[in-house]
Amino acid sequence: MTASRGDGQLKYQRIAETLKAAIATGEYGPGDRLPGENELMATHQVARMTARQALGVLRSEGIAEARKGAGVFVRTFRPIRRHGIQRVARERWAAGQSVWTADLDAGRELIVDDASVREGQAPENVAATLGLRPEEPVCVRTRRFVLDDKPVLLSASYLPASLVAGTAIAEQDSGPGGIYARLAELGHAPAHFREEIRCRMPTAAETQRLQLSSGTPVVLICRTAFTADDRAVEVNEMVLDASSYILEYDFDA
């Protein structure tokens, strides 16, 4: 085990904190190369493993990234500020805007690079939320979203097939305003939403699809859309790269 100092911190943790402080003050900016293992060994008089662990902390927290053969660099990726309430406001999708665009700064584009629409069965908990029997089919819309060449989010949306079959919702491109605008046209406009949030470590498949660094957790968001008469018409299960997002909820007292 790496030796610790009097404050209880292990040496690699102290080195990691020193590097993070230097990044916070601007000594190392986005895209800058951080001191390598040899430099950290000499500066802090530690073993190679300790230096490697220190850099590993920054990588696992999404602060830095390794480039093969070049070293470890401060990430240039800017976190996405997800506006949890404003993004699903009626005025957005009713005006033909995608809920996803609410999260982006000017000039940034969220790209869908892996999408599918199919009819299938919903997980048991989703079927129960939608008030369906387990064998009743659903329309499943899956997406992977990429920002600045980095996958950041996986999304799977479930809607009753009996409600949306033969409509634009069952097509790859559901049109301006997305599926909420189409639900409104069908007479089932979302009137309120519920989101449940939790965190965990990713599965192997999630790690691969989101290209996650070792030790990076994911945020799970399950959003349910309800009509004015309290019917659940959509369940959207999302998996977010925790190092890429800030979750913001702005509401009145």
Q: Are residues 135 and 240 in the same domain?
A: yes
**In degrees, to the nearest 5, what angle opens at C-alpha 94 toward C-alphas 90 and 99?**
65
Using pLDDT thresholds of 50, 70 and 90, give the confidence band for residue 2: low
Q: Are residues 137 and 179 in the same domain?
A: yes
Domain count, the chain: 2
Q: Are residues 153 and 244 in the same domain?
A: yes
Task: Please give the residue that has the higher pLDDT: either 124 or 251.
Answer: 124
Using pLDDT thresholds of 50, 70 and 90, give the confidence band for residue 78: confident
Last residue of one domain, picked from the residues 28, 50, 74: 74
Give the pLDDT confidence of 82-135 residue by residue, as tens digits: 888 888 989 989 888 888 878 877 667 888 888 999 999 999 999 999 999 999
Q: Are residues 106 and 218 in the same domain?
A: yes
Q: Are residues 133 and 213 in the same domain?
A: yes
From CA 107, how far away is CA 236, in angstroms rounded? 27
Domain extent, residue 101, equals 80-248
Q: Positive or negative, the Cα torsion across 46, 52, 55, 57? A: negative
Q: Are residues 96 and 65 in the same domain?
A: no
Domain presence at residue 1: no
What is the average per-residue pLDDT within 181-189?
96
Q: Are residues 146 and 131 in the same domain?
A: yes
What's the full length of the chain, in residues? 253
From CA 53, how far away is CA 38, in angstroms rounded? 13
State which amino acid sits at residue 233.
V
Q: Are residues 107 and 33 in the same domain?
A: no
Task: Please report the pLDDT score of residue 136 as a whole number.
Answer: 96
CATH number of the domain within which 64 lies: 1.10.10.10
From CA 181, how far away is CA 73, in angstroms rounded? 43
State which amino acid sits at residue 204.
A
Q: Are residues 169 and 45 in the same domain?
A: no
For residue 216, pLDDT beyond 60: yes
Give the pLDDT confidence of 125-175 residue by residue, as tens digits: 999 999 999 999 999 999 999 988 889 999 999 999 999 999 999 999 999
3-state secondary structure of 47: coil
Domain presence at residue 149: yes
